[in-house]
Chain A
Amino acid sequence: MTELIVTKDMDAPGIDTLEGYRQHGGYSALEKALKEYLPDDLVEMVKKSGLRGRGGAGFPTGMKWSFLAKNDKKRYLCCNCDESEPGTFKDRMIMEKNPHMLVEGVIITSYACRVSTAFIYVRGELELAGLQVARAIEEAYAAGYIGKNILGSDFSLDVIMHRGAGAYICGEESALMESLEGRRGYPRLKPPFPAAIGLYGGPTVINNCETLATIPAIVKNGADWYASFGTEKSKGTRIFCLSGHVKKPGNYELPLGTPLRTLIYDEQYGGGILGDKQLKAIIPGGSSTFILGSDKVDTPLDFEAIAAAGSMLGSGGVIVINEDTCIVDAVLRMTEFYRDESCGKCTPCREGTYWLTEILHRIEEGHGREKDIDLLLDVCDNISGKSFCPLGDAATSSITSSIKLFREEYETHVREGRCPFKERTQPEHPEAGVQTLQAGAR
């Protein structure tokens, strides 16, 4: 069994209470941070640990912190707990089961970044997660871990839990800030980046839930200890969310660089493909990342190797697809998500995602034309990189990669005028069917 960092005490009874968390060494990292380190030392420590963002982009966390504009404006921290990338369910687990670990990470990060007001933006649908985080914040205030002069230091902090209300786009950092400011969740044009001009115009650091939940362990055990896990460029462990056609779906924390095959087939983890079917495809980092073929099953799960294989590690949501799945229908389902969640601000994304679903739908229903496959690629090309935020780009990933890998399957749909994975539709009148059969027999 490999060493666990973020999920170590996740299932310990009572860990979600202040007392329970303290019994497992909780808030000792905060004490250590405040007593032994200056804020800049902590930024250096996190840089040295090699920790990279666990939300999707994988940007080095310490580097992000050091980019904060040095001016006299008030700084803010936003912890992004708006988990909604299809295939991802780790942040919900952290918030529901061990909310104090997240809160401790938020406090230490605020100290390191000289922030005096931090927000934890929790997805609206995750009601229990939001309640757990809110309670943990309350308990931390009462215990003196949040508030004025924390643990006798001159560091003071306010932490506010802000509940989203059903908009995937608010997981995009600039839309998240708009939402926090009380507006529709429309992304902002970048630059300026949040580190320069962010929430309420102040320099703002935005980190994912799992990223910040990792901070206490790094402070407690040191940068070198954390960097001893994982690979040269992808350090540490991360939670992989395994879902789809596997026998044992779930969250598994593994060192970066663990092969996909281990995660999917090892008895300790996925336990193999559901019903012992053949593996068809893998989506390695949530539905926004490129689909990989089954030949890539030995790829190590680290940022570089997955990129070299043609995709992205994204949010760590590994979706496994078996041989019985129609790739066109699966891609249609993923594309519908982006059509519904496009905020509508930028035309290429708003109109493009609509047309992508229309075309995919007609191919899946057997009304597709030969040129529709290239039309899909053309629409993708007209969306990609042409909007304020990456949502539109994300919508094209599954389409372009699936056409590359499974073009023949698209062509079969068009040629045969039906989905080869669906049973032939029954004729409306049973007698008609019988007659056809008889005619065929003759």
Chain B
Amino acid sequence: MISDKARQRMRDLANRYPVARSAVMPALYIAQQEEGYISQAALEAVAEVLNLTVDDVESVATFYTMYYQQPPGKKVIKVCTSISCYLRNCDALVEQLEKRLGVKRGETTPDGNYTLMTTECLASCGTAPVLQVNNKFVENLTPEMIDALVDEWNRELSAEKAAQGMPQVVAEETAPRQA
């Protein structure tokens, strides 16, 4: 469900632009923040606030890759595989991540912890190869650094889980080490 507060933020945005429809992209971001992805409820809320049809909103949401059509993992890993990162051996990073996380690119781990994606040039070619974890950059990578990174992410996820009062899961169990 999209909260009243989120709907109000969308309405405020619609008033900020010269034409309300221009707020469809930021409104989709707000909805995605609440739902984790572009759910049916998200589409309906944006459509209602901006006075558009649900199909119309969906046509926008499906054009842009940053609006997720399915629930992504808690950590979305995007590895740049464009030319400058390619010249700096980004493919080895992707392979190492596939091994460590036990999923192929484009997939989410069964426990919902990780989504591994490859992505187009992230404007970080001077510090290639690079990846983003939940839109934060990690630059100047080597395949050796991947193990330490995944360990760190696993610890963060365990800590989050512990903080929510859930029984702590050993992170290694969810992402078997295969290398």
Contact B132 A125 (CB under 8 A): yes
User: Interface residue count for A (Cβ, 8 Å)?
Assistant: 54
A117 in contact with B123 given A167-B65, A321-B87 (CB within 8 Å): no
Contact B84 A181 (CB under 8 A): no
Contact A160 B17 (CB under 8 A): yes
The stretch of B4-12, B20-28, B95-103, B141-149 that contacts the partner chain: B20-28
Please name all residues of chain B whose beta carbon is closer than 8 Å to the beta carbon of A200 when the two chains form the complex: 18-19
A211 vs B122: C-alpha distance when bound (angstroms):
20
Task: Point out the residue from A85, A124, A242, A245 that lies within 8 Å of B64, measured CB to CB.
Answer: A124
Contact A319 B83 (CB under 8 A): yes
Task: Point out the residue from A83, A89, A181 that lies within 8 Å of B126, measured CB to CB.
Answer: A89
> From residue A399, how far is it (CB to closest CB) to chain B in Å?
13
Nearest B residue (CB) for A91: B123
The yes or no answer to B29 lying at the interface (CB within 8 A) is yes
Contact A167 B63 (CB under 8 A): yes
The stretch of A220-228, A258-266, A333-341, A387-395 that contacts the partner chain: A333-341
Contact B16 A87 (CB under 8 A): no
Please name all residues of chain B whose beta carbon is closer than 8 Å to the beta carbon of A62 when the two chains form the complex: none
Please name all residues of chain B whose beta carbon is closer than 8 Å to the beta carbon of A333 when the two chains form the complex: 81-83, 86
The stretch of A143-151, A182-190, A375-383 that contacts the partner chain: A182-190
> From residue A311, how far is it (CB to closest CB) to chain B in Å?
15
Contact B64 A165 (CB under 8 A): yes
A160 vs B19: C-alpha distance when bound (angstroms):
13
Nearest A residue (CB) for B122: A125
Task: Point out the residue from B18, B24, B65, B125 that lies within 8 Å of A166, measured CB to CB.
Answer: B65
A74 vs B81: C-alpha distance when bound (angstroms):
42
> From residue B141, how far is it (CB to closest CB) to chain A in Å?
14
A330 vs B132: C-alpha distance when bound (angstroms):
23
Please name all residues of chain B whose beta carbon is closer than 8 Å to the beta carbon of A109 when the two chains form the complex: none
Contact B123 A89 (CB under 8 A): yes
> From residue B31, how far is it (CB to closest CB) to chain A in Å?
12
The yes or no answer to A251 lying at the interface (CB within 8 A) is yes
Contact B84 A319 (CB under 8 A): yes
Please name all residues of chain A whose beta carbon is closer than 8 Å to the beta carbon of B78 when the two chains form the complex: 125
8 new A-B contacts, CB < 8 A, other than A165-B67, A325-B87, are A86-B82, A167-B65, A182-B24, A184-B63, A241-B125, A319-B83, A319-B84, A333-B82
Binding site for B on A (CB under 8 A): 74, 83-89, 91-92, 117, 123-128, 160, 162-168, 179-185, 200, 241-245, 249-251, 283, 287, 317, 319, 321, 325, 330, 333-334, 337, 340-341, 343
A–B complex contacts, Cβ < 8 Å, 21 sampled: A83-B123, A85-B121, A86-B82, A88-B125, A124-B64, A127-B136, A162-B26, A165-B29, A165-B65, A165-B66, A168-B120, A180-B22, A244-B88, A249-B125, A317-B125, A319-B87, A333-B83, A334-B83, A337-B82, A340-B120, A341-B120
6 closest A-B pairs by beta carbon, nearest first, are: A165-B64, A243-B125, A166-B65, A182-B21, A166-B66, A182-B24
